[in-house]
Amino acid sequence: MAALRARIAHIVSPSTATKDKDEDPKFYAKVFRTPEYFWYDPRQREIGGYRL
């Protein structure tokens, strides 16, 4: 049986935007081995992400 690996979708907070976009993907890849991390920044109207 194949393991289920979750994708992360994150809404960026103005006070932690750099962390949300730069540090959090590394954390989720290392700790949870998630294959993809996406974010939405409502202030910048930006959607982005990484394939980890």
Closest CA to 41 of 19, 22, 17: 17
Predicted confidence (pLDDT) at residue 2 exceeds the cutoff of 60:
no
32 confidence band (pLDDT: 50, 70, 90): confident
The three-class DSSP label of residue 49 is strand
State the average pLDDT over residues 10-39. Answer: 92
